[in-house]
Amino acid sequence: MLVAVNGGRVEVRVRGSGDLVVLVPSLGRGGGDFDALAADLEAAGYRAAAMSPRGIDGGSPAVPGLALHDFAADVACVAGALSDGPVHLVGHAFGNRIVRCLASDRPDLARSVTLVAAGGQVPSDPETHAALMRIFELDRPDEERLADIRHAFFAPGHDPSVWLDGWYPETKEMQWSVRDRIPFDEWGRAGTAPVLVIQGLDDPLSVPANGYALRDRLGADRVRVVDVPNASHAMLPEQPAIIARELIAFLREQSG
């Protein structure tokens, strides 16, 4: 379904019924990354809404000049279109910044916040950053792009070809340009919501120190960190069962 946002629209994949869980994807990627997780959420009695940012899956074109707060406002529009009350927010990779910003801007909308592969405090090394940027050069040979996807997104022994497609350079440029424009305290504290961090121990982009730093900063009473072995930045196709198990258990705690 298409949901109206400020000055445009975004595509949202909705399935299931029950408490709403809004899923926000990684940099320059769409809501289809959450298909398996959304199915698990539906089976557990939740309504999953996996949204794609502007420029993807039939939504409005990517718009240069937007701010992180604007991306958060798009998520708020999706939440408001599908629920009358606060919702559970899940952000993968760059999506973690968006859902934390929304929870900071609109704490009334955030029932809980789950961060999958959450960066924002401890930077990656320059070569991993360069590999991430090269992935979006779609005219490069598949073999070269697969090498970069493997390096930045997949743990040893996992097949990077499952993410060869699904990269949107214009959306990436729109999102990446706002990455460091506002200070951490303006977006990174996730309001007052309880926070779950699920992080891969083999992640070179959002290194595990990020989760520990967030827990130290906000307190262990608010932030729970789950370390996942044999998982890198992609995580969703690498360890779907662990992510679903930890997320659903966390959501049930918030409803208890």
Buried b (16+ CB within 10 A) or exposed e, 61-94: ebeeebebbbbbbbbbbbbeebbeebbbbbbbbb
**Selected residue with higher pLDDT from 41 and 121:** 41
Provide the pLDDT confidence category of residue 88 given band limits of 50, 70 and 90: very high
CA nearest neighbour of 175 among 6, 30, 78, 37: 30
Give yes or no for residue 235 having a pLDDT over 80: yes
**pLDDT by residue (tens digit) across 17-34?**
999 999 999 999 999 999
Buried b (16+ CB within 10 A) or exposed e, 112-151: bbbbbbbbbbeebeeebeebbebbbeeeeeeeebbbbbbb
In the chain, what are the domain boundaries? 2-255
**Beta-sheet pairing, 8-15 with 2-5:** antiparallel
**pLDDT by residue (tens digit) across 99-127?**
999 999 999 999 999 999 999 888 888 99
**Tokens encoding 237:** 């196709």
Question: The whole model's pTM is what?
Answer: 0.97
**Selected residue with higher pLDDT from 64 and 174:** 174
Average pLDDT, the chain: 96
Give yes or no for residue 180 having a pLDDT over 90: no
Count of other CB atoms within 10 angstroms of residue 156: 8
pLDDT-above-90 percentage for the chain: 92
Count of other CB atoms within 10 angstroms of residue 157: 8
Provide the pLDDT confidence category of residue 256 given band limits of 50, 70 and 90: low
Residue that is written with structure tokens 């029950």 in the block = 18
| Distance of alpha carbon 129 from alpha carbon 134, whole angstroms | 9
Residues 6+ apart with CB under 8 A from 252: none
**Selected residue with higher pLDDT from 3 and 121:** 3
User: What would the CATH number be for the domain defined by 2-255?
Assistant: 3.40.50.1820
Provide the pLDDT confidence category of residue 255 given band limits of 50, 70 and 90: confident
Single-letter code of the amino acid located at 163: W
For range 212-241, the mean pLDDT: 97
Partners of 116 in beta bridges: 92, 198
Residues 6+ apart with CB under 8 A from 123: 129
